[in-house]
Amino acid sequence: MKLLGSFLLDFDIISPKDLADVMVEQIRQTPNSLDILYEKALITPEQFLSIVSLQNDEHLDLCSACIRLDIWRNDFFDVINEEVGKRRSTLGRLLVEKGLIEPHVLLPILKQYHVYRAENNNDFALFSENTLLDLNESEAEETAPNVHFDPDFSLIQSNDFSDYIDLFSEEKEIELELVILAIEALGSDKNEADPEELLNQFFTDYHSLKGTARTAGALLTENLIHESEDLLTFFKRFLHKINNADFAALAAINLKVLDVLSNLRNEMISSGAEEHYWAHAESREKYLKTLGDIKRFNEDMENRGFEVNLEDVQELF
């Protein structure tokens, strides 16, 4: 399976030199694992020196050297991954920050990359018990819950979306897309990311968007994010019971949510109101179908004994 960098080269929107330069920058931002353990006081100065000496003498990786010295702990991986995630920017963000790719150019390519990954991953977009999520449109329409949502736009007291539009920028959309792809990768045996950290990050971003949307009077946006938060609550509360296909399903649903949120934001910019989005039958159907997918996944989780209210676990986030 191609990495994102190779995928971008195929579109001929970045030169090999620029891509290599950005990847070198990304590598430079990656802290040394041994340094992290020492900075976090997880190893003593004497242990640090012993590890360096053993690595130099026998050309061992950090884990092997620590095991040889009887120093290694299983939580070292979690600490290292968390710190790397804090200090190292994603490839997409670096490309945008350096002005090598415009956000509006990168975003659709990221979505195509996601489709490519889905086509090369048989577990992608599957619920537990092999319930298909939109791989068969006709079947999905037959099994999707009947969702009723009737927003009352007359209750809106504010129609100033400027703060929300600033928060949910194209750059932020790219950032969320990359987080979703990282969540999808949690189902891979080779993944070393911390699921709890990723879910925390995603929930925090969603919660900020929802609060700003509520203040702005964006009823459709607030409702969709609120429903999506329930899924994240299930995953956070029952993380020890989640299987690989669940992460793929969560990613698939939230990519659809992100697409609808993007459409809603663009409508706010162009017409100054969500009501125009709702007035279009095709847009309204897409919105309700996304809500239906969320509800279907919620029901699937509940059928497996996962039942929790957001308020009950708010402190977990």
pLDDT (tens digit, 9 = 90+) per residue, 225-258?
A: 999 988 888 787 777 777 777 888 888 889 889 9
**Whether residue 64 is found in the same domain as residue 150:** no
Non-local (6+) Cβ contacts of 71 within 8 A are: 43, 47, 50, 51
Whether residue 126 lies inside any domain: the answer is yes
Domain range enclosing 15: 4-92
Look at residue 46 in the predicted model and tell me its pLDDT: 95
Among candidate residues 92, 115, 139, the one where a domain is terminated: 92
Whether residue 271 lies inside any domain: the answer is yes
d(CA 29, CA 27): 5
Please say if the pLDDT value at position 125 is more than 50. Answer: no
Length in residues, the chain? 317
Number of domains forming the structure of the chain: 2
CA atoms within 13 A on the CB side of 8: 23
d(CA 160, CA 165): 10
- CA separation, residue 114 to residues 96, 177, 185 (Å): 18, 9, 11
**Whether residue 19 is found in the same domain as residue 131:** no
Among candidate residues 37, 63, 92, the one where a domain is terminated: 92
When the pLDDT of each residue in the chain is averaged and rounded to a whole number, the result is 80
Look at residue 52 in the predicted model and tell me its pLDDT: 94
**Whether residue 126 is found in the same domain as residue 242:** yes
Whether residue 193 lies inside any domain: the answer is yes
Decide: helix, strand or coil at residue 126. Answer: strand
pLDDT tens digits for 151-163? Answer: 888 888 777 889 9
**Whether residue 148 is found in the same domain as residue 23:** no
Please say if the pLDDT value at position 30 is more than 90. Answer: no
**Whether residue 241 is found in the same domain as residue 158:** yes
Look at residue 260 in the predicted model and tell me its pLDDT: 93
Whether residue 187 lies inside any domain: the answer is yes
Please say if the pLDDT value at position 261 is more than 90. Answer: yes
**Whether residue 274 is found in the same domain as residue 195:** yes
What is the arithmetic mean of pLDDT over 32-48?
94
- CA separation, residue 44 to residues 71, 110, 121, 254, 305 (Å): 10, 43, 43, 43, 45
Look at residue 129 in the predicted model and tell me its pLDDT: 31
Look at residue 251 in the predicted model and tell me its pLDDT: 87
Look at residue 146 in the predicted model and tell me its pLDDT: 64
Beta bridge partners of 126: 132
Q: Which of 45-54, 235-244, 304-313 has the least mean pLDDT?
A: 304-313
What is the arithmetic mean of pLDDT over 209-228?
92
Whether residue 149 lies inside any domain: the answer is yes
Q: Which of 38-52, 81-95, 266-280 has the least mean pLDDT?
A: 81-95
**Whether residue 209 is found in the same domain as residue 231:** yes
**Whether residue 84 is found in the same domain as residue 191:** no
Whether residue 27 lies inside any domain: the answer is yes
Position 189 confidence tier, pLDDT thresholds 50, 70, 90? low
Please say if the pLDDT value at position 138 is more than 50. Answer: no
Look at residue 306 in the predicted model and tell me its pLDDT: 60
**Whether residue 119 is found in the same domain as residue 221:** yes
**Whether residue 136 is found in the same domain as residue 216:** yes
Please say if the pLDDT value at position 45 is more than 90. Answer: yes
Whether residue 46 lies inside any domain: the answer is yes
Position 40 confidence tier, pLDDT thresholds 50, 70, 90? very high
**Whether residue 119 is found in the same domain as residue 11:** no
Look at residue 39 in the predicted model and tell me its pLDDT: 94
> Could you give phi then psi for residue 157, rounded to 5 degrees?
-100, -20
CA atoms within 13 A on the CB side of 5: 14
**Whether residue 47 is found in the same domain as residue 120:** no
Whether residue 97 lies inside any domain: the answer is no
pLDDT tens digits for 9-29? Answer: 888 888 999 988 988 888 888
Look at residue 297 in the predicted model and tell me its pLDDT: 84
pTM score of the predicted model? 0.58
Position 264 confidence tier, pLDDT thresholds 50, 70, 90? very high
Among candidate residues 92, 110, 135, the one where a domain is terminated: 92
